[in-house]
Chain A
């Protein structure tokens, strides 16, 4: 028994049949498909890409793009830093320069340099 307002059974069935037909048409739409052709200049593009990759700088940069090399370099850098920190030569104690004698001589012979303004002020 149909509920009030629901489409008649025949219409609903027709819609379902139409839907199934559409799905089947879509599912079979690749029948008879032809292979798509690539750009005829693909070889030129590939060759250019290979030549670019084989450039010296590109090779050098490419080396560091590889995780293995990047991690190795980082580990080497950190390792060297640690090695330098651990094996740093012991710091020599600060030497105390005894210059009492020199100071005494300087005082004795008045070898202290005065500026002109100092001399002028003493004159007054």
Chain B
């Protein structure tokens, strides 16, 4: 897939003015009525989208699974408050991004205390230097470079990271990214431009040391 290309949704929902399709509206109604089959449909239909987005942000497969689980639990709990002003996928993307960022912040806090734990001999699971992240969807000939790129992505400011992951890892169009991030298309373009500049700087620094 070429960067910036709009990835076709698995769902054949025709968009309505409100952002929700007829099929989607039916699914939402069933979810609000507590239909378990509808919830299973929601999870199975969007689990890869949620997992892949989270994986791009947290860069760890176990953590991404935990985040995906939390996202669907949160969706189950707050479906009554979903007004249908945006597409269900946009709503799920927002929850995923928020949860993933919360997860990263929590991991950073734990890292700060990792040194203290180590003094007291605590056998904790914290990884001060986590292993290189390899996204399973990257083409085999690009694995090494992608791993180096993800290291640089991890150092980006939050907003730039989200814009980059949604565009390059999830393959969303700038308009969709702007809807998820609650901003404008030019703002997303600006974030992506800054992300690109920062990534190049990080990579240059890395390659100067390692080449």
A27 near B196 (CB under 8 angstroms)? yes
A45 near B203 (CB under 8 angstroms)? no
Which residues in chain A, 35-58, are within 8 Å of chain B measured between CB atoms? 35-39, 42-43, 45-46, 49-50, 53
Query: What residue of chain B has the Cβ atom nearest to residue A43's Cβ?
Result: B43
B138 near A33 (CB under 8 angstroms)? yes
Give the B interface residue count (CB, 8 A). Answer: 44
Say which residue of A18, A25, A29, A36 sits within 8 Å of B55 (CB atoms): A36
A26 near B149 (CB under 8 angstroms)? yes
In the complex, A22 has a CB within 8 A of chain B? yes
In the complex, A30 has a CB within 8 A of chain B? yes
In the complex, A31 has a CB within 8 A of chain B? yes
In the complex, A32 has a CB within 8 A of chain B? yes
Give the A interface residue count (CB, 8 A). Answer: 26
Given contacts A23-B203, A36-B51, A50-B73, contact A18 B211 (CB under 8 A): yes
Query: What residue of chain B has the Cβ atom nearest to residue A39's Cβ?
Result: B65
Which residues in chain B, 53-86, are within 8 Å of chain A measured between CB atoms? 55, 64-65, 68-69, 72-73, 76
* Total A-B contacts with CB atoms under 8 angstroms apart: 113
Say which residue of A23, A31, A34, A49 sits within 8 Å of B207 (CB atoms): A23
A42 near B69 (CB under 8 angstroms)? yes
CB-CB < 8 A to A106: which residues of B? none
A26 near B148 (CB under 8 angstroms)? yes
In the complex, B163 has a CB within 8 A of chain A? no
CB-CB < 8 A to B40: which residues of A? 43
B137 near A33 (CB under 8 angstroms)? yes
A29 near B48 (CB under 8 angstroms)? no
In the complex, A19 has a CB within 8 A of chain B? yes
Bound CA–CA A42/B50 (angstroms):
11
Bound CA–CA A32/B137 (angstroms):
8
CB-CB < 8 A to A38: which residues of B? 47-48, 50-52, 65, 68
In the complex, B32 has a CB within 8 A of chain A? no
CB-CB < 8 A to A53: which residues of B? 73
A46 near B73 (CB under 8 angstroms)? yes
Bound CA–CA A42/B46 (angstroms):
11
B69 near A46 (CB under 8 angstroms)? yes
- B203 CB to nearest A CB, Å: 5
Query: What residue of chain B has the Cβ atom nearest to residue A34's Cβ?
Result: B137
In the complex, B194 has a CB within 8 A of chain A? no
In the complex, B200 has a CB within 8 A of chain A? yes
A33 near B51 (CB under 8 angstroms)? no
Q: List 8 A-B contacts (CB under 8 A).
A: A23-B203, A25-B142, A29-B149, A30-B169, A31-B139, A38-B48, A38-B65, A46-B76
Measured CB to CB, the residues of A under 8 A from B are: 18-19, 22-23, 25-39, 42-43, 45-46, 49-50, 53
What 8 A-B pairs come out closest when comparing CB atoms?
A38-B51, A34-B137, A29-B145, A29-B142, A29-B146, A38-B47, A26-B145, A46-B72
